[in-house]
Each structure stands twice: as C-alpha cells, then as structure tokens.
Amino acid sequence: MTYKSLRDCVLDLEKHGHLVRIRTEVDPDLEMAEIHRRVHRARGPAVLYERVKGSPFPAVSNLYGTEERCRFIFRGTLDRVRALVRAKADPANVLKDPASLLSLPLGAWQALPKPACGSVPVLENRTTLSRLPQIRSWPMDAGGFILLPQVYTEHPDRPGIWGSNIGMYRIQLSGNSYAPDREAGLHYQIRRDIGTHHTAALRRGEKLRVSVFVGGPPAHAFAAVMYLPEGLPEAAFAGALAGRGFRYARRDGHVISADADFCIVGTVEPGRTLPEGPFGDHLGYYSLKHDFPVLSVEQVYHRSDAIWPFTVVGRPPQEDSQFGRLVQEIAGPMIPREIPGVKAVHAVDSAGVHPLLLAIGSERYTPYAERRRPQEVLTLAHALLGYGPCSLAKYLFIVAGEDDPRLDIHDIPAYFRHVLERVDWKRDLHFETATTMDTLDYSGTGLNEGSKLIVAAVGPARRRLATAVPVGMRLADGHADPRLALPGVLVVRGPAYTDEASGQRSLMELTEALRGMDRETLEGLPLIIVADDSAHCAANLDNWLWTVFTRSNPSHDVHGVDSFTEHKHWGCRGPLVVDARLKPHHAPPLIEDPAVSRRVDTLAAPGGPLHGIL
C-alpha cells in the first residue's frame, strides 16, 4: 500500500479495524495524552480525535502503537528497504538472496526525491501556531508541543535536497516567553546533524532556514528518526519506505514537503536563544528548562483535509519504542560493515536507549594466548562510542561472541548472566570521566555532561551466580530489604540520598559491611544495586533496567567492595555496587495529573462517551 497522505493511512487503518474515532470534544491539555497512554498500554488501535478543543484540526495518535500495526503500515515497502540496506552493507547479500535483485531498482528509484508537479495541497491554506492543537502531555510541560515533527534544514555550504537533514527535534509551540504565533522553541540534542547546519550558518553569519513538516505519509515521520550513513538524506529514505519519492517544493526560499499536512517555515537567528521546556521526555523524566534556539515563524501552511498527528513519550516502552525497534532492525546490518568485528548491538529501550548499550564483538588478537582477556573487544567498544547512533551510550557492555555463539543479544537476562559469570571487576572496568552525555540524561554533572563506563567480559565462566538472597546478609545501618533482580544481581533499599557527602558515606558504610561477609557468598553476587525502593526495582526486568541505568552516573555512582586505584585504573576485588537512588540534581520522574485521570475515568465509565474505547 502506497500512502500519498496521512489521511490515506488513517482511512486504510480504519477500513482494516486498526483505528477508532472519538467524536466527543477532547482537551489537548493533558486529556488527550491520558487517553493515548491508556489505549497504548492496552495495545489498542490508532485513535482519531475528531473534535480538539481550541483547534479546528482533527488529530490522530497511536498510529505506530504496536509492532503489528507498524508492519501493516509499511507492509508494501519494508522488505524492499531492508534489501536496499543489506545490499549497501554487504553486496554479497544480494548473491545470497537473488530474489531481492528484483526489488532493488524500484527501491532506488523511489528513494530519489522529486520536485512536486502541479498544485501543492499543503500550500493551499494558512493558519497560525495558536490554532494548532496545543498538546500538553505531562503536568509540568511548559506549553503546547509538536510531538511528531519533521524538522528540515540544509547545509549552508551545500544547499539542496542532497545536503539536507530531516530530524525529529522538539518544537515548543506556546508558553514561556515566546511571542505568540511568531516564535517557537527549537530543542535539539547533542550529536544531531542540525547542529552541523546551525554551526555552518553561525560561521557564515547567516540565519538558518528551517521548515517543520507535520503529517504526510507515515514513512516521513519514521525517516526523521532513522540513522543513515553520511551522504544519504532522510528525504531519500522517506521515499523508499513510502514507496513514493519524497515530493518537495520551494516557497520564499523555504523547502516545503508537498505531501505534508502542515508546514511551518521560519529562520533561526544567529546567537538568539530563549528558555525552552520543561517537557516530559522519553527517559521517563522531565527535560528541564534550558536556553535553546528560537524559530522565528514566517508562515504556517496546511492542506484542506489536514490531520494533526501526535504521540506521547514517557518512561519506556511507549509508542516511540516501535520506531526504535524498526530502526535497529533496518540499520543493524550497517554496523558490522562500518565497524568490522562487531557482531551485534542492542540499545536497550527499557533503559531509555542511550543509557545502556549491549554489544557482542570478536576477540581474535591473541588466539594463541593461554589466558583469554579483553583486547579486541576494547578496540570495538571505543569504536562504538565514536559511531553515530551509539556515541551517546553511557554504559556499554561488550562480550566476545566466540565465548557463546548462541548468545542472543536481545535476551537481556541471558546477556547479563553471560557477563556476570565472566567479568573480573579488577580488570574489566574502563571509565571515561568528564565527557559528554545525552542531553535528556540528568544523572550527570550538568546539561550534556557526565561519564561513561565500558564493561568488557571475555573468557570462560569464572563463577556460579546466586539464585536466592543469602540468609543472614550483613548490611550497613539504613540499608534493608535485599531482593534478587536477576541471577547474581542483588538490590537493596538504601537511605534517601540528600546530598553528595552523606550519599557517598552511606555507600562506603555498605561496602565495608559487605567486605566482612563470607567471600564465597559474595562471589555469587557480583553486582549489587542500591535503590530507593528495592521491591519495585527488583519486581521485573523493565523496572530494574530503568532504575539502574537512568539514575546513575558511572564516575560518581559506581562503587565496589574492596576497591582500589592502581596507576589510574579503578577496580574492586568484591562485588560492584551501583548507587541508583534518586539524587537532588535529577529531573523529576513523570506522574500523571490525578484530576485529569479521574476525568478520563468518567469519560470511560459506562454511559460515558469513551466507554468501549478505553
């Protein structure tokens, strides 16, 4: 199925039972987001909101809410796009699958962006920012946000579609000190291609032209989050995945996506920023208020049958998790080509993606050596931290594929069992301190600042992991309720973290108490986590991943029993201890507004307008 517009997709989903309509008026201020979250949690259909309070435009959400629906939407092109990527990653793949040859020329043709011919529907009408759905998802959100934007820029030194970038960068439509209908916030994180374009514009002393597309064929939104090799613009990928070349036009110097539902055009002036946020983000915490570039808005265009698409982000998994799975599925074959020796990587969605990266590599440097130790995997780990989509990883675990060829990188409990059976904390910890960190991660020392930790485990199993909490464990005062989260992984409840001095002191007391325990008992518990609520953290895998890897900064929060520093190398002879308590400098976690939840309960009750939908 080839969609020429978002409405084409909406009608197709409805025809096949993948979409429901809400005909009663709903409020974009928290209410629509609450409805979306409930439908998504229930693995429900896409939702078309026909009447949005304060806006003349209908809205749709949960389009990509399940893997099955994503594959349905892209059912005509996904295999072809995968074949194109596999062919680029390794031309020999074509010889292994000759049938894919038939699809390659068509896919390549559809990838070519094409100037629009005739009328351009999105240019037929104009509106203002304030008439767009002002969707707030979480109580502390500073205003209305565009939640599935496609932000288009061109490199000032290489203008044109082939020097363009389309990224999903947050756009704040209202609130804070933005001039109503004339300004919007443009938030982009570190290591984003728009930053390269912005840097070039600043160097030239020029305004950066920006176009924000909303809607259009679903492939266009997906392209905005796709990692692509240097020199391949997202517009080309959008065309290949849509099964129809990306159509574009130019108006007053701005590029227009001809198939978009909405197009906001404007410029970013050199050196001008304003406070943007807060915003409830996809790590499950708020992004706080910081200065970011300002988009001076010139025009807001829309097509006559426009539909406003949106999503809601929060603690994973959410709807955007489906994007992440498809990105890894499609782009995965490129990594072994670009970093030879890497067999597989997995950016763990439940941990917020960037906080935790798992990898399987090769260990071939000294096959003659009597004792295996991490060598090549360390080279590969550093290459991964210098590689585009992996460069923001905070914790990187890497193992040698030769140690267990059957190891599945997506089986997270099996992966951690493999690591913890082999790791030597005296040797296998490699810190990078005072470095860059994901913009959305507030566990570090400041915005975009923190540390990284590589854990490299190679060789035969060296220990048997405990499968139960040892009887009579000795814990320091203030620590209690030990729980086993995974084999070999103990979680204990620690005292509330109020300041760095007392927080560090409580960890020293815990490690000293553990040091006095029986060595054989401790050997089966190589990893110990300190959390605010050990029962919650250990209750399931998702809770453990989210708590541990979003609430710790390696340089500050990784401790160990019987630790030492030798020639600037830090290690420990006993268990590794990670402090995953909430700290005062962390951003607050996302919590729904109780009043809005009660209102939606009423709408969903028998006799209510949403009964049978929620």
pLDDT at 102 over 70: no
CA 236/CA 109 separation, integer angstroms:
10
With tokens 């099964």, the residue in question is: 243
Interatomic CA distance for residues 516 and 105, integer angstroms: 68
Domain boundary among 310, 334, 364: 310
Q: What's the rounded mean pLDDT across residues 13-22?
A: 97
Q: Domain boundary residue among 254, 286, 310?
A: 310
For the sheet with 247-251, list strands across it. 114-115, 247-251, 254-257
CB 361 within 8 A of CB 404: no
Looking at the structure, do residues 486 and 553 belong to the same domain, yes or no? yes
Cβ contact 155:163 at 8 Å: yes
3-state DSSP assignment of residue 53: coil
User: Looking at the predicted structure, is the pLDDT value of residue 184 above 50?
Assistant: yes
Name the H helices within 406-489: 412-422
Report residue 558: phi and psi, to 5°: -100, 120
pLDDT in tens, 493-532: 999 999 999 999 999 999 999 998 888 889 999 999 999 9
Amino acid at 587: A
Cα separation values, 109 from 75, 113, 156, 170, 520, Å: 18, 9, 27, 31, 64
Distances (CA, A) of 274 to 32, 54, 84: 28, 26, 42
433 and 498 in a single domain? The answer is: no
In this prediction, residues 582-595 reach a mean pLDDT of 97
Poorest-confidence range of 228-232, 251-255, 524-528, 607-611? 228-232
Question: What span, in angstroms and rounded, lies between the C-alpha atoms of 87 and 578?
Answer: 43
Beta strands in 262-380 (DSSP E): 262-276, 279-280, 286-287, 290-302, 308-310, 344-347, 356-361
pLDDT at 95 over 80: no
CB-based burial of residue 269 (10 Å sphere; 0-12 exposed, 13-18 middle, 19+ buried)?
A: middle
Q: Is residue 235 part of a domain?
A: yes
Residue 97: pLDDT band with limits 50, 70, 90: low
Total domains present in the chain: 3
Residue 422's CATH number: 3.40.1670.10
What is the average pLDDT across 428-456?
Answer: 96
pLDDT (0 to 100) of residue 94 = 47
- Within-domain flag for 106: no
Count CB-CB contacts under 10 A for residue 419. 20
Write the CB contacts of 96 (distance below 8 Å, at least 6 apart in sequence): none
Q: Say how far apart CA 193 and CA 211 lie, in whole Å.
A: 15
In a domain, 79, yes or no: no
Name, in order, each residue with C-beta under 8 angstroms of 184's C-beta and a sequence gap of 6 or more. 129, 171, 172, 173, 178, 212, 264, 266, 294, 295, 297
pLDDT attached to residue 472: 80
Residue 224 lies in a domain: yes
Q: Please answer whether residues 9 and 63 qualify as being in contact, where contact means their C-beta atoms are separated by less than 8 angstroms.
A: yes
Helix ranges (H only) for 262-363 are: 320-331, 334-338
Is 200 among the domain residues? Answer: yes
Query: Quick one: 435 and 545 in the same domain?
Result: no
Q: Where does the pLDDT of residue 110 fall: very low under 50, low under 70, confident under 90, or very high at 90 and above?
A: confident
Residues 413 and 284 in one domain: no
Phi/psi at 407 (5° precision):
-60, 125
Q: Predicted confidence band at 583 (pLDDT cuts at 50, 70, 90)?
A: very high
Residue 81 pLDDT class (50, 70, 90 cuts)? confident
pLDDT at 442: 97
Domain match, 326 and 299 both = no
CB 352 within 8 A of CB 392: no
What's residue 101's pLDDT?
45
Final residue belonging to a domain, choices 457, 490, 521 = 457
Residue 585 placed within a domain:
no
Choose among 499, 508, 407, 435: nearest CA to 191: 435
Query: Are 258 and 120 contacting, i.e. CB atoms less than 8 angstroms apart?
Result: yes
63-68 mean pLDDT? 96
- Using the predicted structure, report yes or no on whether residue 249 has a pLDDT greater than 50: yes
336 vs 85, 354, 360, CA distance in Å?
12, 19, 11
Packed helices 78-89 and 234-242: angle between N→C axes, nearest 10 degrees: 130
Instruction: Evaluate if residue 103 carries a pLDDT over 70.
Output: no
Does residue 222 sit in the same domain as residue 343? no
**Phi, psi angle pair for 586, to nearest 5°:** -70, 155
- Output the pTM of the full model: 0.94
Q: Is residue 97 part of a domain?
A: no
Q: Are residues 325 and 303 in the same domain?
A: no
Q: Integer distance in angstroms from the first to the last C-alpha of the chain?
A: 29
Q: Is residue 495 part of a domain?
A: yes
Q: Are residues 507 and 392 in the same domain?
A: no
Q: What is the mean pLDDT of the chain?
A: 94
Residues 243 and 351 in one domain: no
Average pLDDT over residues 346-375: 95
Residues 236 and 300 both lie in one domain: yes
Q: How far apart are CA 282 and CA 591, in angstroms?
A: 13
CATH number of the domain bearing residue 62: 2.30.110.10
Q: What is the mean pLDDT of residues 126-148?
A: 98
In this predicted model, what pLDDT tens digit does every residue of 451-494 receive, in sequence order?
A: 999 999 999 999 999 999 998 888 999 999 999 999 999 999 99
The answer on 535 and 434 residing in a single domain is: no
Q: Assign residue 480 a region: left if phi > 0, alpha if psi is -120 to 50, beta otherwise?
A: beta
Region 559-568: mean pLDDT is: 97
Structural domain boundaries, residue 427? 320-457
Six-digit token string for 39? 């439908």
Among residues 39, 61, 63, 59, which one has the least CA distance to residue 51?
59
Phi and psi based region of residue 463 (left: phi greater than 0; alpha: psi -120 to 50; beta: remaining)? beta
Average pLDDT of 375-381? 98
SS3 202: helix
Query: Above pLDDT 70, what percent of the chain?
Result: 96
Residue 431 dihedral angles phi and psi, to the nearest 5°: -95, 145
Mean pLDDT calculated for residue range 4-21:
97
* 134 CB-near residues (< 8 Å, 6+ apart): 28, 29, 54, 55, 143, 144, 173, 174
Q: Quick one: 530 and 420 in the same domain?
A: no
Does residue 614 carry a pLDDT above 80?
Answer: yes
